[in-house]
Chains A and B, each alone.
Chain A
Amino acid sequence: MPVTATTFETIKVETADRICTITMNRPDVYNALNDKLTFELQDALKAAARDREVSVVVLTGEGKAFCSGQDLGDLKEKYVPGYVPHLGDDLRKRYNPVVTRIREMDKPVIAAVNGVAAGAGLSFALACDIRLASEQASFIEVFINVGLIPDSGSTFTLPRLVGLSKALELCFTGDKVTAEEALRIGLVNRVVPAETLAEETSKLAKRLASLPARGIALTKRLLNQSYENDLAQQLEAEAFAQETAGLTEDHYEGVVAFIEKRKPEFKGK
């Protein structure tokens, strides 16, 4: 079933030009993550990963925010003396699958960060392969303010992006990082004026969608694997991946186009 045919309540999913755009859609609460939204995100990501008509996935937020993290609105009734939360199970069921689906998907996932990305919302942005941010975007590791640890992969992705010490600072303080600062410390790839974010995202997504899909998929896999491997293992992983890439039609086309001095036409095969 194509992704577009699925009806969601808390997200919008649109597929066009091989690009699947998933928009978190609870603008009145800054796209806060309730149960429904996290499960719908899981489903949409799974469908996009499987859909042969999709080459690139974009994750963004409706309205002023990208995503403000866990919806705290429904906690009022729960948090009374004697209440014992089980947040570990919550992460395993709701949040972690979102992160692994983004990371393990054989397609580029772009976060178009249109506004505030806080808590798990920031974690989701960090799990994406590339982050484009609007000038109005901001980034906050809010967890410590409620006595929790940065979850949904933040403790993995953040130090890898900004370095250990900066990551610790951001997680300790919960300070808000502006778009400009985020660019400077390597938290985002690019900052663009708010009104051009959609257009710039679309440009990048279209460009990625036109590239050899198998090569892109293998590259993503390898770069992610590099964090777990030593050099010898990584060299071996490259040898296997290159063997696969070398057998694609796109590789052949790329070489022939180069020899014939023309633009290659990749088919994703």
Chain B
Amino acid sequence: MTSVVETKPMTDEQLILFETDGPVGIIRLNRPKVLNALNPQLMTELAGQMEIFDRDDDIHVIVLAGSERAWAAGADIGDMAERSMLEMYQRDQFATWDRIRRIKKPIVAAVSGYALGGGCELMMLCDVVIASETAQIGQPEINIGVMPGAGGTQRLTRAVGKATAMDVILTGRFLDAKQALAAGLVSRVVPAEHFFTEAMRVARDMAAKGPIALRLAKEAVLKAFDSTLSEGLEYERKLFYMLFATEDQKEGMRAFVEKRKPRFKGT
């Protein structure tokens, strides 16, 4: 059996780039030559950086961006083509994805160009999706004899319903930005030249809210994908009450009553 241990490629290429802009942590996928194809190493670095931002009290919101040409055009097919079932099973490359799923701070996706296969699945792991008019979104795995493996069949179905999910997954066709918006797969569509600045605008806007409320609200919405309605309602109610233990709740409500802008402190 061939080794399933990841060998680090001999390259100085930085698979992701990151920076901060005030309370916004920005991560850019950086494999332009392969349209940001997602390989396990990139996903590991991405999850790692997201966890760093998640732990950083100065960061309130995370922006994840691709390039204008491609958000992420899928996984590294060449890397997987000749692997056996056992190798794939033992490598468990999707385990990293669960780490991104557990990020507590809101993630804004800045999506332009291709968001295909793993790219679409990564997009669906984000919370708010700002899409450029040029976005092409799909799960074309069926064209190469497989199927989505990083959540596509589950999250797409929950996002857009069975009819559209089946259409997209079984035919491999792409949705353009407008169709994706109509289907509820993306949050907003903007001209290509503004996809990143708009994502930043949304992120800064969110970052000005109370960070604890942001996190709990995200958690509550995600609970809707993973529970019955009554469980979800119970959960929501508890989180709502929980916020009354924070100073931000007092500040927010007092500011509203006093007709001034609130100053949230994350406490």
The interface residues of chain B lying within 8 Å CB-to-CB of A240 are 190-191, 194
A77 contacts the other chain (Cβ, under 8 Å)? no
Contact with B along A233-260 (1 / 0, CB 8 A): 0000100110110000000000000000
A214 closest partner in B (C-beta): B193
With both chains docked as a complex, state the minimum distance between the C-beta of B135 and any C-beta of chain A, in angstroms.
Answer: 15
B172-217, CB < 8 A from A: 190-191, 193-194
Q: What is the 8 Å Cβ interface bit string for chain A, positions 53-67, against chain B (1 contact, 0 not)?
A: 000000000000000
For residues 211 through 269 of chain A, which have their beta carbon under 8 Å from a beta carbon of chain B?
221, 237, 240-241, 243-244
Inter-chain CA distance A221–B193, complex, in Å, is 13
Q: How far is the CA of A243 from the CA of B193 in the complex (A)?
A: 10
Give Cα A225–Cα B87 distance, bound, in whole angstroms.
50
A221 to B194, CA, bound (A): 15
Residues on A with C-beta less than 8 A from B194 are 240, 243-244
Counted as pairs of residues, one from A and one from B, with CB atoms less than 8 Å apart, the total is: 10
Bound: A54/B191 CA distance, A: 23
Closest-by-CB residue of B relative to A236 is B190
A46 to B193, CA, bound (A): 21
Question: Which residues of B are found within 8 Å of A237, using beta-carbon distances?
Answer: 191
Would you give the shortest CB distance from A218 to chain B, in whole angstroms? 9
* B residues less than 8 Å from A241 (CB atoms): 191
Question: Which residues of B lie under 8 Å from residue A244 when comparing CB positions?
Answer: 191, 193-194
Q: A237 to B193, alpha carbons, bound, how many Å? A: 12
Interface string of B216-259 (1 = CB under 8 A from A): 00000000000000000000000000000000000000000000
Instruction: Report how far A44 CA is from B191 CA in the complex, Å.
Output: 26
CB distance from A232 to the nearest CB of B (A): 13
Taking CB atoms, residues of chain A closer than 8 Å to B190 are 240
From A221, A237, A240, A244, residue with most partner B Cβ within 10 Å:
A240
Q: Report the Cα distance A240→B263, complex, angstroms.
A: 30
Whole-angstrom CA separation of A81 from B28 in the bound complex? 61
Cα separation A241 to B190 with both chains bound (whole Å): 10
Give complex CA distance A240, B192 in Å. 10
CA distance A241 to B191 in the complex (A): 8
A-side contacts of B191, CB under 8 Å: 221, 237, 240-241, 244
Within 8 A of A (CB), among B49-99: none
Min CB–CB distance B168 → chain A (angstroms): 20
CB distance from A23 to the nearest CB of B (A): 31
Q: In chain B, what residue has the closest Cβ to A222?
A: B191
Question: Which chain B residue lies CB-closest to A237?
Answer: B191
- Can you give 9 A-B contacts (C-beta < 8 A)? A221-B191, A237-B191, A240-B191, A240-B194, A241-B191, A243-B194, A244-B191, A244-B193, A244-B194
Q: A237-B191, A240-B190, A240-B194 are in contact. List 7 more A-B contacts (CB 8 A).
A: A221-B191, A240-B191, A241-B191, A243-B194, A244-B191, A244-B193, A244-B194
User: Which A residues fall within an 8 A CB radius of B?
Assistant: 221, 237, 240-241, 243-244
The 4 closest A-B pairs by CB, nearest first: A240-B191, A240-B194, A244-B193, A240-B190
